[in-house]
């Protein structure tokens, strides 16, 4: 089936499921007749989703036959709800199985431990490993870090499925991580740089190629995985990937400085209960291009660089909206910037002589704004969020561009 034919099927599904998208498409589609290229269709950005999908009148919220997953907040203060149909769930598990088979290769593994946060990846992990024929156990993010260590020591899984931030805490709390007998690590949820993977592999006594990063989102599902053979991320089945400039998104974002970097935009051929048609991820990727894999062209990228939108990761998604709302409940006049270094998150509050007691209250409230993040920090499987007071900077205060509010080190 040609791309225009596949595209028409996706458009028909989206317009049938989401009347607001049909109206938006009709008002923006410049050509007559059905679209023949993705570029003819509008981008589904954060503003559009807040107005229609994350809104209180989303008619999907009335259905009782859908799976519902929640993540960080919006500018209205409402937590985002993302829905999956029964078919969405089935396709998610099927594609994830294919990705795990590609990641694990022909090697035989008998046991796996899912040590995750919350959300979709955690909810399906046990089922996926069982279908791969492994004995599998999981541990709750609510459990203290000591229990994670005990589980690893007792179960000795050959495969560990976890998040970089959780693995950091495990290594920090372990005298000899290599003693757990882990042979393969599969990651999800946060950026895992090559340098971080190399250092982590040394601590576990395995080769760096035995740590594989997978990339997904609660909105789309499994998106891509890192291929050590090609030294690039390869996209999963059913994903059509594009790269666009930051300024084309329509959120007042400034251009990216590196010409090899683009904002990743995704279309899913299988997703039903989410408008996954030119969905803006706000993830910046480097060197997005097709390569030849097993004799056919497959879209790929070199690395994930950063996020420029309102959401970032600290175990689970937390948005700039959540952080700013907490700060402005404590301070009438302040500016907020967030710095991400590795898997650590630091909130810089620019104000005039903010008392330490107020900064401590902000820290406590930010950590607990997303309950799952607060519970993971209390359990010791996530590092705490730092809040630092700095002198008032009027230039920072005036800036409302979201990609200037998050910096990566």
Give strand pairing partners of 338.
Answer: 347, 406
Each residue's pLDDT tens digit, 209-219: 999 999 999 89
* Residue 356 CA neighbour count, 13 Å, CB half: 0
Each residue's pLDDT tens digit, 350-361: 888 889 999 999
Return the exposure string of 356-394: e unless at least 16 CB atoms fall within 10 Å of the residue's CB, then b: eebbeebbbbbbbbbebbbbbbebbbbbebebebeeeee
The segments of the chain whose pLDDT lies below 70 read 28-36, 73-77, 117-120, 392-404, 409
Q: In the prediction, which pLDDT does 251 show?
A: 76
Q: Are 110 and 158 in contact (CB under 8 A)?
A: yes
Q: In the prediction, which pLDDT does 371 show?
A: 85
Q: In the prediction, which pLDDT does 399 show?
A: 45
- Beta strands 344-350 and 335-341 are antiparallel
Q: What is the dihedral of CA 54, 57, 58, 62, to 10 degrees?
A: 130
Q: Are 101 and 132 in contact (CB under 8 A)?
A: yes
In the numeric block, which tokens belong to residue 193?
A: 């740089």
DSSP 8-class letter at 316: E
Q: Are 366 and 347 in contact (CB under 8 A)?
A: yes
Q: Are 73 and 325 in contact (CB under 8 A)?
A: yes
Q: In the prediction, which pLDDT does 24 show?
A: 78
Q: Which domains does the chain have, with CATH numbers?
A: 3-84+232-307 (no CATH), 87-218 (3.40.50.980), 311-408 (3.30.70)
Percentage of residues in the chain having pLDDT higher than 90: 53
Task: Specify the 3-state DSSP secondary structure of 182.
Answer: coil
State in Å, rounded, how far the first CA of the chain is from the last one.
44
Alpha carbon distance 234, 299 (integer Å): 6
Question: Crossing angle for the helix pair 320-330 and 356-367, nearest 10 degrees?
Answer: 140
Mean residue pLDDT across the chain: 87
Q: In the prediction, which pLDDT does 125 show?
A: 87
- Residue 156 gets the label, from left (phi > 0), alpha (psi -120 to 50) or beta, of left
């Amino acid at each position: 089936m040609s791309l225009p034919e596949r595209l028409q099927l996706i458009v028909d599904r989206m317009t049938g499921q989401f009347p607001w998208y049909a109206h938006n498409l009709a008002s923006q589609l410049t050509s007559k007749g059905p679209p023949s290229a993705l570029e003819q269709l509008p981008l589904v950005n954060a503003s559009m989703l807040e107005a229609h999908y994350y809104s209180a009148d989303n008619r999907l919220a009335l259905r009782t036959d859908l799976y519902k997953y929640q993540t960080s907040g919006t500018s209205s203060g409402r937590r985002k709800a993302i829905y999956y149909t029964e078919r969405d769930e089935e396709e998610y598990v099927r594609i994830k199985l294919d990705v795990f088979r590609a990641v694990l290769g022909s090697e035989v593994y008998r046991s796996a431990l899912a040590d995750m946060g919350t959300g979709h990846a955690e909810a399906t992990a046990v089922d996926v490993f069982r279908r791969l024929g492994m004995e599998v156990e999981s541990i709750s993010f609510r459990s203290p870090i000591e229990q994670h260590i005990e589980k690893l020591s007792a179960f000795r899984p050959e495969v560990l499925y976890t998040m970089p931030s959780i693995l950091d805490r495990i290594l920090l709390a372990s005298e000899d991580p290599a003693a757990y007998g882990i042979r393969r690590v599969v990651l999800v949820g946060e950026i895992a740089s090559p340098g971080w993977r190399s250092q982590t592999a040394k601590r576990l006594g395995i080769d760096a190629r035995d740590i594989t990063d997978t990339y997904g989102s609660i909105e789309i599902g499994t998106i891509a995985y890192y291929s050590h053979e090609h030294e690039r991320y390869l996209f999963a089945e059913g994903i059509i990937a594009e790269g666009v400039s930051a300024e084309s998104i329509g959120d007042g974002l400034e251009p990216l400085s590196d010409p090899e970097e683009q904002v990743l935009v995704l279309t899913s051929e299988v997703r039903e209960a989410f408008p996954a048609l030119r969905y803006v991820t706000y993830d910046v990727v480097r060197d997005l291009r097709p390569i030849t894999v097993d004799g056919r062209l497959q879209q790929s990228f070199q690395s994930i660089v950063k996020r420029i939108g309102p959401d970032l990761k600290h175990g689970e998604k937390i948005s700039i909206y959540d952080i700013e709302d907490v700060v402005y409940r404590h301070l009438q006049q302040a500016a907020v910037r967030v710095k991400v270094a590795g898997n650590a998150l630091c909130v810089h509050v620019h104000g005039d002589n903010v008392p330490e007691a107020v900064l401590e209250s902000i820290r406590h409230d930010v950590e607990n704004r997303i309950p799952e993040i607060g519970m993971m920090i209390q359990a010791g499987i996530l590092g705490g969020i730092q809040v630092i007071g700095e002198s008032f900077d009027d230039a920072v205060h005036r800036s409302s561009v979201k990609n200037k509010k998050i910096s990566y080190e």
